[in-house]
Amino acid sequence: MEGKNINSNPLKEEEKIIVGILNKDCAQQLKQCLDSLLNQEFKNFEVVVVDGGSKDDSLCVLQDYSKKDERVHYFIQKSKGTGMARNELIEYVKENFPECSKIVWGDAENVYDPKYLENIVAKSKGFSVVGGKNVIDSKNPLAQALWWYYNGFPEGVSGNNECVDMGIYKKHKYANVIRGEDYILHQQLVMEGHKLHKCLEAVCYIKTVETFSDFISWTRKKALGLFQWAYNEKKIISLIRHYLIFNILIWTYILLFFIIVLFFPFLLALYFAFPIMLSFYFWQKGKSFVRNMRKITFFYFLPVLLIHFSVVFFEILKLNLFKK
């Protein structure tokens, strides 16, 4: 796959990589994250953690690790939202590490394979954005059913696991939104002709929501982030239309069930064939993006998709109707 070339020269040994970690109230996971980074086979990097005002022991953890290893740095976020957290970290890097050529983004919940940085940095030569492979590290079927969100169709790039050329930030900043700033930037880059490349050898183990109440809250925050961006950019109608299409398709298929039951019951077997095959596809393909995929997860994929697209759509509609 070809990408827009920001820097055609191969990455030099002396060029420094920054690993930017977003953290808030994830002290225990942060320890595992930092341990996995400091044990990387690739050594020429610094870790910068931006803390979003944690109430747990995160700052104590950061103080401890910064004393043990001079490659660990941190600061407390001044503003709110993950978009602004990323922008503050970029400015910190520009001021303190002007020699930095790339930022590898991650979250405190991530745990990295020992060859992660080596692989993603090697693949980033000649590309503006390269994403790694997100592997769901959970036995929870709801969490496992979200593998597609972090890996895309076909393989996409997620903001909590990507290597971005610093040249991108000469022109772009992340949107000042509560969630979804990475998706928004990716869409802008694609419109400009950039190709977002995927490196399946760069493996990152991630955590995500494990209860339906957390899933709903998490999805609503994504909807709010998209709404904030679309409202500021005057693209509300376009955003609503995008999710409306998905919802029309999903709910039309559900209503079709009642029509078939009433008038064409002999077609029920054919009706159920499609969701069964689709669920099998998600389950089978997801095995490479989930640690120990469970059989019960097979039944979670379609409800999760239905809830996700419906909640995002109706939340955006509500926000638009009651916007101040």
- The verdict on residue 2 lying in a domain is no
Residues 211-267: tens digit of each pLDDT: 999 999 999 999 999 999 999 889 999 999 999 999 999 999 999 999 999 999 999
| Residue that terminates a domain, selected from 152, 184, 209 | 209
- Mean per-residue pLDDT for 125-148? 94
Co-location of 289 and 169 in the same domain? no
The pLDDT of residue 6 is above 90 = no
- Return the pLDDT at 140: 97
- Return the pLDDT at 323: 72
- The verdict on residue 8 lying in a domain is no
Co-location of 105 and 174 in the same domain? yes
- Specify whether the CB–CB gap between 181 and 174 falls below 8 A: yes
- The verdict on residue 22 lying in a domain is yes
Co-location of 189 and 289 in the same domain? no
- Return the pLDDT at 79: 86
Identity at 179, one-letter amino acid code: R
The C-alpha atoms of residue 128 and residue 112 are separated, in whole angstroms, by: 21
- Return the pLDDT at 8: 34
- Return the pLDDT at 64: 96
The C-alpha atoms of residue 50 and residue 48 are separated, in whole angstroms, by: 7
The pLDDT of residue 134 is above 70 = yes
**The domain containing residue 92 runs over which residues?**
16-209
Residues 76-108: tens digit of each pLDDT: 999 888 899 999 999 999 999 999 999 999 999
- Return the pLDDT at 156: 79
The C-alpha atoms of residue 50 and residue 3 are separated, in whole angstroms, by: 29
- Mean per-residue pLDDT for 186-205? 91
The pLDDT of residue 4 is above 60 = no
Co-location of 171 and 271 in the same domain? no
Co-location of 147 and 293 in the same domain? no
- Return the pLDDT at 258: 94
Residues 183-194: tens digit of each pLDDT: 899 989 988 988
- Return the pLDDT at 324: 56
- Return the pLDDT at 310: 95
- Specify whether the CB–CB gap between 146 and 136 falls below 8 A: yes
Of the chain, the percentage scoring pLDDT greater than 90 comes to 81
Co-location of 293 and 159 in the same domain? no
Co-location of 160 and 238 in the same domain? no
Co-location of 197 and 240 in the same domain? no
The C-alpha atoms of residue 30 and residue 36 are separated, in whole angstroms, by: 10
- Return the pLDDT at 7: 37
Q: What is the pTM of this model?
A: 0.88
CATH code (residue 85): 3.90.550.10
The pLDDT of residue 11 is above 50 = no
Identity at 96, one-letter amino acid code: N
Co-location of 277 and 169 in the same domain? no
Structural domain tally of the chain?
Answer: 2
| Residue that terminates a domain, selected from 148, 177, 209 | 209
- The verdict on residue 112 lying in a domain is yes
Confidence of residue 21 (pLDDT cuts 50, 70, 90): very high
- The verdict on residue 289 lying in a domain is yes
- Mean per-residue pLDDT for 163-172? 93
Query: Which distant-in-sequence residues (6+ apart) come within 8 Å of 201 by Cβ?
Result: 115, 119, 123, 133
- Return the pLDDT at 40: 95
Q: What is the DSSP string of 152-213?
A: TTTT--BTTEEEEEGGGGGT----S-SS-HHHHHHHHHHHTT--EEEEEEEEEEE----SHH
Confidence of residue 5 (pLDDT cuts 50, 70, 90): very low
- The verdict on residue 9 lying in a domain is no
- Specify whether the CB–CB gap between 279 and 299 falls below 8 A: yes
Co-location of 74 and 100 in the same domain? yes
Phi, psi of 150 (to 5 degrees): -95, -5
Confidence of residue 62 (pLDDT cuts 50, 70, 90): very high
- The verdict on residue 11 lying in a domain is no
- Mean per-residue pLDDT for 45-71? 95
Co-location of 43 and 155 in the same domain? yes
| Residue that terminates a domain, selected from 209, 238, 271 | 209
Co-location of 124 and 175 in the same domain? yes
How high does pLDDT run on average in the chain? 91
- The verdict on residue 155 lying in a domain is yes
